[in-house]
Amino acid sequence: MAYAITQTCCTDASCIAVCPVNCIHPAPGEPDFGTTDVLYVDPRTCIDCGACADACPVDAVKPADTLTGPDAVYAERGARYYADRDPNPAWTEPRIPRSLPPGTPAPRVAIVGTGPAACYTAQELLRCADAEVTMIDRLPVAGGLVRFGVAPDHVGTRGIGESFAALLRHPRVRTHLGVEVGTDVTHADLVRHHHAVVYAVGAAAPRPLGVPGADLPGSLPATRFVAWYNDHPEAPANLVDLTGVRRAVVVGNGNVALDVARLLAVDPDSLAGTGIAAHALDALRAGGPREVVVLGRRGPGQAAYTWPELHALKHLPGVRLVVADSPETRAALARADPADPTDHAALLHDVPIEPVDFGSAPPPGRRIVLSFSCAPVEVRGLGRVSSVRTTTGDIDAQLLVSAIGYRGTPLPDLPFDEATGTVPHDRGRVEAAPGTYVVGWIKRGPSGGIGANRLCAQETADSLLTDASAGRLPTPPGSARDFRRLVRGGAPRPMAGAR
């Protein structure tokens, strides 16, 4: 019996490199890689060796015959993916990582951030050259969104944090936590002590909702709400008051919106023992909503969530998933073709479509309502949210979470593109600042799962090593020891976790 790849796959392609028979696809360089939600094992050629399961950092690969309940469908999807494909596809060109010519001095590289983009970049530099890496993060805990973004009930996905934590213990890595670049140290400080500086600072700001009332108590962006349930050091325990919340509205149709909806709707007892913050669990137990309404401003065919996350929502224990009836939604769903894997609306073919009375208290039981072609126009309430006016009518709700995407913010001394919220670059190289590079969400914008940062990091590391080989990296006057002294002397905050 073959292996199969399940929900937590973050498409980082680690399994492809270890498969002895080339039966995991799409691989980097193949057409669907970069758009597929998960990778697939070809059951016709898999020899059941288990190497992929050992290599997977998020525990996504399982023997197909052990998959039960909602997970059983992953084996079927794998078989369907290969139904019309060649059982012996050509091997993709192996990637030969760039290395430095003999005699080139090993570069000393500062990486700002400790999220996935930073860690994949460090891995690449350590593997390809004798680089010394200084990792710096403004937070006292490493991991970026793997620690403070990924939902606490995505236990397998959070497991990737362990492999990143091991990287921070590498003998050629020094880590400074609780040090903010731009406040505690400057870009010039980094340049003075390193051959190259890589910014992997992510995109932590919320996209503004921009409707009247969006700042009322009881209305907040997902950036804050997610930080609250993940115990982010800057999100106070009392940030979210769920007292009296019967119905919550979540704006947006991406995976973050589904994370927020799921955590609000599920029986809080099922979250005990996950990494959820104790204060969030207490608040959910004391007064979480019975109904969560997820608003998509476009139709079901244009939703940004991925199939595995929607599939999980359909099977959430104790929670009914329904689609709010409307003529547009009914028409879009009627047109959907369940046989077409690219038809996003078809993902809802087995979800009931029902009229919903948004003006009355929610019915007994827990439910999530997907309401399409519906956008907020105003958030209303006296002193706190009591209703949301939308393009299709009013919704009686006591909490609004706006999950409409993240946004990068400008970095001192670097160029910035206001339209995309990213730093302009060429293959990761910031041309306006020689020796400076970007990677991850601050380079590409705030989309893509954890694994997408791996290819992105390979590209940035390649550019950096190309510049090192060509002698284009400036020689820093300061040493690594000088930099450590500077950080110890200059950083006003405790150096929790610094080595």
Task: Yes or no: say if 380 and 389 are a contact pair by the CB < 8 Å rule.
Answer: yes
Compute the CA torsion angle 347, 68, 157, 85 (nearest 10 deg).
Answer: -60
Q: Which of 16, 60, 61, 117 contacts ligand FAD by CB under 6 A?
A: 117
Q: Which of 27, 60, 146, 439 binds ligand SF4 (CB under 6 A)?
A: 60
358 is an interface residue for ligand SF4 by CB under 6 A: no
Q: Is 88 helix (H, G, I), strand (E, B) or coil?
A: coil
Whole-angstrom distance, CA of residue 294 vs CA of residue 248: 9
| Closest approach of ligand SF4 to the CB of residue 13, in Å | 5
413 touches ligand FAD (CB under 6 A): no
- From the list ligand SF4, ligand FAD, ligand NAP, none, pick the one residue 403 interacts with, judged by a Cβ distance below 5 to 8 Å according to partner type: ligand NAP
The pattern of x and - marking residues 164 through 203 that bind ligand FAD according to CB under 6 A reads ----------------xxx-----------------xxx-
Minimum Å gap between C-beta 419 and ligand NAP is 14
Q: Which does 221 bind (CB under 5 to 8 A by kind): ligand SF4, ligand NAP, ligand FAD, none?
A: none
Q: Rounded to 5 degrees, what are φ and ψ at 414? A: -120, 150
List contacts with ligand NAP (CB under 6 A).
207, 251-257, 259, 297-298, 302, 304, 306, 309, 375, 403-406, 446-449
DSSP 421-472: TB---BTTB-TTSTTEEE-THHHH-S-S-TTHHHHHHHHHHHHHHHHHHTT-
Assigned token pair, 174: 């020094």
| Binding flag, residue 4, ligand SF4 (CB under 6 A) | no
d(CA 101, CA 120): 22
Question: DSSP class of residue 398?
Answer: S
The reply to whether 306 sits near ligand SF4 by the rule CB under 6 A is: no
CB 45 within 8 A of CB 13: no
Contact of 131 with 144, CB cutoff 8 Å: no
46 binds ligand SF4 (CB under 6 A): yes
Binding status of residue 226 toward ligand FAD by CB under 6 A: yes
Half-sphere exposure (Cβ direction) of 453: Cα atoms closer than 13 Å: 28
* Closest approach of ligand SF4 to the CB of residue 6, in Å: 8
Q: 110 contacts which partner out of ligand NAP, ligand SF4, ligand FAD, none, CB within 5 to 8 A by kind?
A: none
Q: Which sign, positive or negative, has the C-alpha torsion 27, 29, 32, 38?
A: positive
256 binds ligand FAD (CB under 6 A): yes
Q: Quote the DSSP letter at residue 336.
A: -
C-alpha closest to that of 250 among 204, 215, 319, 296: 296
144 is a site residue for ligand FAD (CB under 6 A): yes
Applying CB under 6 A, which of residues 137, 153, 189, 462 lies at the interface with ligand FAD? 137
Does 24 sit near ligand SF4 (CB under 6 A)?
yes
Among 12, 132, 309, 459, binds ligand SF4 (CB under 6 A): 12
User: How far does the chain reach from its first CA to its final CA, in angstroms?
Assistant: 47
Q: Which strands form 247-251's sheet, in the order they lie side by side?
A: 219-221, 399-402, 247-251, 291-295, 366-371, 319-324, 353-354
Which residue, 3 or 148, is less far from ligand FAD as judged by CB? 148
Q: Smallest distance, Å, CB 156 to ligand SF4? A: 9
Name which of 26 and 178 has its Cβ closer to ligand NAP. 26
Q: How far is the CB of 44 from ligand FAD (least distance, A)?
A: 28
Peptide bond between residue 94 and the one before it cis (omega within 30 degrees of 0): no
Measured distance CA(446)–CA(193) in Å, rounded? 30
Measure the CA dihedral 260/263/266/267, to 10°.
-150
As a residue count, the chain comes to 499
User: Least distance (Å) from ligand NAP to the CB of residue 37?
Assistant: 8
Beta carbon nearer to ligand NAP, 170 or 298 = 298
Total chain residues near ligand SF4 (CB under 6 A): 29
Q: Do 366 and 266 meet the contact criterion of CB atoms below 8 Å apart?
A: yes
For residue 57, give the nearest of 169, 183, 163 by alpha carbon.
163
Min separation Cβ 259 and ligand FAD, Å = 6
Cβ proximity to ligand NAP: between 297 and 389 the closer is 297
Question: Binds 304, which of ligand FAD, ligand SF4, ligand NAP, none (CB < 5 to 8 A, cut-off by type)?
Answer: ligand NAP
Q: Return the closest-CA partner of residue 189 out of 199, 177, 197, 201.
A: 197
Residue 457 within binding range of ligand SF4, rule CB under 6 A: no
Q: Where in 417-456 is the site for ligand FAD (CB under 6 A)?
A: 440-441, 448-450, 453
Separation between Cα atoms, residue 166 and residue 95, nearest integer Å: 24
| Contacts to ligand SF4 by CB under 6 A | 3, 5, 9-15, 18-19, 21, 23-24, 39, 41, 46-52, 55-56, 58, 60-61, 451
| Contacts to ligand FAD by CB under 6 A | 10, 112-118, 136-139, 144-145, 149-150, 154, 157, 180-182, 200-202, 204, 226, 256, 259, 406, 440-441, 448-450, 453
